[in-house]
Chain A
Amino acid sequence: DIQMTQSPSSLSASAGDTVTITCQASQDISNYLSWCQQKPGKAPKLLIYDASSLETGVPSRFSGSGSGTDFTFTISGLQPEDIATYYCQQYDELPYTFGQGTKVEVK
């Protein structure tokens, strides 16, 4: 199985800050990576697919980059409503696997 190593596990930042989360795959997954957001008590929501494509309706402060094994997710200008846990997921090879999640808090 492809292991997805996501870091950090949690972070706290101020509103307006730029936040970066990384995800490393244990093998080359090309750009078959998505990022989703899960707010407390809610279902996950897709934000980014194909490593860097923004899902329709998602604010442009969210972005993704990377290919191969190393990926980055960025929130440019953190907003209070961005409090959530963020997960990366690879869909290159079955079984599809997730990173452990990054819990983002706003100071």
Chain B
Amino acid sequence: EVQLVESGGGFIQPGRSLRLSCTASGFTFGDYAMSWLRQSPGKGLEWVGFIRSNSYGGTTEYAASVKGRFTISRDDSKNIAYLQLDSLRTEDTAMYYCTRDSFYDYADYWGQGTLVTVSP
């Protein structure tokens, strides 16, 4: 059974940093791209970025709203994808989800999310 478990969220002040983790199980983690998405309270879904599998260079792509502040990485030996959030802003307050991306780019499994609250 595919499982994705996010962790690392919390309450943090603007300008600070936080690292989220997504621990995967139930599939060959290294074969898949992994994405991060977020959902602000009461709002819709926003794609944050993804990291390709190492077979495709392990390269990353980001939404313009987070580019230069957020960094996605992966550790295939531990089956973990990371989202490093730097220079946090109040508008980054959201539930952050990780997803497994199918071989055809759509998200086929979602984690339960971890909440990040950025406030003075």
Contact = CB atoms under 8 A, between A and B. Distances in A.
Interface of A: 32, 34, 36, 42-46, 49-50, 55, 87, 89, 91, 94-101
A84 to B, nearest CB: 13
Contact of B104 (A50, A87, A94): A50
Could you tell me the dominant secondary structure of chain A's interface residues?
A: loop
Interface of B: 44-47, 61, 63-64, 97, 102, 104-113
B45 A43 contact: no
A58 to B, nearest CB: 11
B106 A43 contact: no
Contacts of B113: 43
A29 to B, nearest CB: 12
A96 to B, nearest CB: 4
A97 to B, nearest CB: 7
Contacts of A42: 112
Contacts of A36: 107, 110
Given A49-B106, A101-B45, 11 more contacts: A32-B105, A32-B106, A46-B108, A49-B104, A50-B106, A87-B44, A91-B106, A96-B105, A98-B45, A98-B47, A101-B44
A95 B50 CA distance: 10
A44 B106 CA distance: 13
Contacts of B108: 46, 49, 55
Contacts of B112: 42-43
